[in-house]
Structure 1
Amino acid sequence: MNTHETPGAVGPAVTFGPPAAWAVHDLEELPAVPGWSRDRLPELQRRFPQVPERVWSRPAPADGREFAAAVAGMAPVVTAAAAAGHRTGGRSAFHHGR
């Protein structure tokens, strides 16, 4: 162990690995989600008729730009949480989502 490391601290793979996986996952979803939600909404409405109509109308299927904006809006938050975790050896409450 390096003398500058905090005992029990986690390394960068632990703090930056999950955000990297999130980025890869969301990049893969960018082309898929808008079409999926648009195509599946009628099927979900038929499958779950007990769900009130107001619930189905609220999350109108996002188009590609809206979904990309949502992903881009979350990227700084996820990156900041990872950086906080890295700075604190994985102990940051922000990193843990608390």
Structure 2
Amino acid sequence: MERIESSEVERAIRESTEANQVHVIPASQSAIEALKKRKYHEGNSTTGCVVCLDEFLHGMEITRMPCHHIFHGECIVSWLHLKNECPLCRFQMPLDTTEI
């Protein structure tokens, strides 16, 4: 499958939040950098990234949120630069208090 560019993901997120008049607050950079990375293995309960809707491939690196939802690294980082919540369960990541 063809990967969606991160700029396209960022644009789609921005358009979605603007259309729904949602106030966006990014997660802190330190929280984003602390996200765990691991290899995806077939048979996991999650088969694809809900941000870009592409499937995970066996052995590819994925990024796990503290709520245990997994995403492509660049997708969740783009998302968290705009919104501090998990796109699936709304788990809230720490905020950068200097930007509030």
TM-score, L = length of structure 2:
0.28
Structure scoring higher RCO (CA < 8 A, sep ≥ 6) equals 1
User: More strand per residue: 1 or 2?
Assistant: 2
User: More helix per residue: 1 or 2?
Assistant: 1
Structure with higher Rg: it is: 1
